[in-house]
Amino acid sequence: MKKLAVALMLLAATPAFAADPSEMLKDPVLEKKAEDLGHELRCLVCQNESIEDSNADLARDLRVIVRERIAKGETPDQVKQYVVDRYGDYVLLKPPFKITTLVLWLGPFALLVLGALAAFAVFRRRGAAATQTQSAPLSAEEKRRLDALLKDNGQ
Amino acid sequence: MRRLLYLLPVALFGVLALFFLKGLTMNPRDIPSVLINRPVPEMNLAPLPGRGEDTGLATADLKGRVSLVNIYGSWCIACVQEHPYLVKIKQMGIVPIHGIDWRDDPAEGAKWLKKHGDPYDRVGVDPAPGRTAIDFGVTGAPETFVVDKAGIIRYKHIGPVSQDVWENTLLPIIKELSK
C-alpha cells in the first residue's frame, strides 16, 4: 500500500521549471531556441544559476525579453549580443574565447603539457640510470672474487 | 639548482593561494559595468503619480549637468537603508538625483517616497520587465549611476549609498566631472 502511494506520488512529480508556462512561446521551435539561449545566460542575482533555472525577478524579466526578441525573429546570437551589451561577458555562463580569457581556457592544458614534459624527463633519466648500472661488466678482479665467494658457499 | 626545481610546485601553490585569498575578500556582487563611458540608454519613463510638475524621466533630461540616477523600488529593503542619505545629498544641493522606480506599482512607489522622504528631481516608472533597468545593466536595487553633462554614464555604485560611499567615491567623481 505504502509502495503504491510512493509510486503514485512519483508519477505525479514533474521536473521543476522556473519558466512560468505563461511565459513560454507558443511555437515549440522558437521556445526551444529561447530555452537553449537562456541556459547559457547567467542570472545576475543568483549568479551560479542560469536565467532558465532561476526564480529571481530579474531572471524572469530577462526570460521574457529573450522570448520577445526571439519571437520577433532575432537569431539567438543577436539576442545574446543584446544581453552582453548590457551586462558584459560576465552574463555568459561559458566565458568566450578571447585574448583576456586565454589563460583561463589554455592554462589547464599548458599545465598538463608541462607536467607531462617533467614526468617524461624524470622517467627517462631514471631509465637511463638503470640500464647504465646493468650493462657495466665485471672486471677480472671482481669475477675472481665472485667465483671464490660462490665456491666458499658451495662447501 | 635541481633542488629549486622541486620547489616549483610549492611556489605555484603559493601563487594560487594568494589569488584565492584575494578572492575571499572580493564582493561577488560587484560586477563591472560595461556601460561606463557610454551614453545613458534611450528611455522615456512615465512619472510617478502625485509628484507635481514631474513629467517623468527621459534621456534628454540627463544632459546639461552632472546628475545621479538612483534605481529604487518600494519592495527594496536596502533602499530604505540608503534613503535618508539620499535625502541628505538632496539638501546639500550639489547634484540633482533622479529616481527610477523599478518593477513597482507606481502608487506604491509614490507612497514609499511620502513615507521615507523624496530626494528626487525627476522620477520615472519602469514596470516589469524593467526594460530601462536592463538597458542600464542593473543587477539589483539600489544602484546609483553618475551621469556627466553630456549624458554619459561615468560610474556605477552597486548597493546602498552611505556617507563613506558619498564622500570617498561619488563626490570626488562629481567634482571632477563638474569642472
Question: Min CA distance, B93 vs chain A (Å)?
Answer: 31
Distances (CA, A) of B1 to A121, A144, B8, B9, B36: 16, 42, 11, 15, 49
Q: Which of A15-24, B47-56, B90-99 has the highest mean pLDDT?
A: B90-99
pLDDT in tens, B44-89: 999 999 898 899 999 999 999 999 999 999 999 999 999 999 999 9
Q: Which of A45, A61, A85 sits opposite B128 (nearest CB)?
A: A61
Q: Which of A58, A64, A65 sits opposite B139 (nearest CB)?
A: A58
Neighbours of B66 (CB within 10 A): 21
Residue A10 belongs to some domain of the structure: no
Give yes or no: residues A39 and A107 share one domain.
no
Task: Record the cell numbers describing residue A73, joined without a space.
Answer: 525573429
- Does the beta carbon of A46 lie under 8 angstroms from any beta carbon of chain B? no
Give yes or no: residues A129 and A70 share one domain.
no
Give yes or no: residues A79 and A118 share one domain.
no
Is the pLDDT higher at B120 or at B25? B120
* Residue A41 amino acid letter: L
Is the pLDDT higher at B117 or at A14? B117
Tell me, what's the pLDDT at A4?
75
The domain limits of chain B are: 30-178
Task: Record the cell numbers describing residue B170, joined without a space.
Answer: 561619488
Which of B139, B156, B158 to mutate to probe the A interface, most A CBs <10 Å? B139
User: What integer is the mean pLDDT of B86-95?
Assistant: 95
Tell me, what's the pLDDT at B106?
94
Distances (CA, A) of B18 to A149, B14, B15, B24, B25: 62, 6, 5, 10, 11
CA distance B61 to A150: 106
Residue A7 belongs to some domain of the structure: no
User: Look-up: residue for cell 517616497?
Assistant: B113
Please, what is the end-to-end C-alpha distance for chain B in angstroms?
58
Question: Min CA distance, A143 vs chain B (Å)?
Answer: 37
Cβ-Cβ contacts under 8 Å between A and B: the total is 44
pLDDT in tens, A82-119: 999 999 998 999 888 888 888 889 999 999 999 999 89
Nearest-Å Rg of the Cα atoms of chain B is 20
Question: Which residue in chain A has the smallest CA separation from B128?
Answer: A61
CA distance B78 to B39: 27
- Does the beta carbon of A22 lie under 8 angstroms from any beta carbon of chain B? no
Helix axes A57-71, A76-87, angle to 10 degrees: 140
pLDDT at A135 over 70: no
Question: Where residue A19 falls among pLDDT bands split at 50, 70, 90?
Answer: low
Give yes or no: residues A71 and A122 share one domain.
no
Q: Look at chain A and report how many structural domains it folds into.
A: 2
Inter-chain touch A86–B134, beta carbons under 8 Å: yes
Give me the percent of chain B exceeding a pLDDT of 70. 99
Which of B35, B105, B134, B136 to mutate to probe the A interface, most A CBs <10 Å? B134
Q: Which domain holds residue A123?
A: 100-154
Is the pLDDT higher at B66 or at A10? B66
Give yes or no: residues A38 and A105 share one domain.
no
Distances (CA, A) of B158 to A17, A135, B69, B71: 30, 73, 12, 10
- Does the beta carbon of A20 lie under 8 angstroms from any beta carbon of chain B? no
Distances (CA, A) of A155 to A42, A148, A149, A150: 85, 11, 10, 9
User: What integer is the mean pLDDT of A117-137?
Assistant: 80
Tell me, what's the pLDDT at A126?
86
Please tell me the CATH code under which domain B30-178 is placed. 3.40.30.10
Residue A9 belongs to some domain of the structure: no
- Residues ≥6 apart with Cβ < 8 Å to B112: B74
pLDDT at A149 over 80: yes
pLDDT at A18 over 60: no
pLDDT in tens, A33-64: 999 999 999 998 888 899 999 989 999 999 99
Q: What is the CATH number of the domain that holds A25?
A: 1.10.8.640
- Residues ≥6 apart with Cβ < 8 Å to B117: B83, B84, B86, B87
User: What integer is the mean pLDDT of B128-147?
Assistant: 93
Question: Min CA distance, A82 vs chain B (Å)?
Answer: 9
Q: What is the ipTM of this complex?
A: 0.83
Give yes or no: residues A83 and A106 share one domain.
no
Give yes or no: residues A60 and A120 share one domain.
no
pLDDT, mean over chain A = 85
Q: Which of A18-22, B8-12, B115-119 has the highest mean pLDDT?
A: B115-119
Give yes or no: residues A140 and A128 share one domain.
yes
- Does the beta carbon of A90 lie under 8 angstroms from any beta carbon of chain B? yes
Tell me, what's the pLDDT at A108?
92
Residue A85 belongs to some domain of the structure: yes
Give me the percent of chain A exceeding a pLDDT of 90. 40
Inter-chain touch A57–B103, beta carbons under 8 Å: yes
Inter-chain touch A88–B140, beta carbons under 8 Å: no
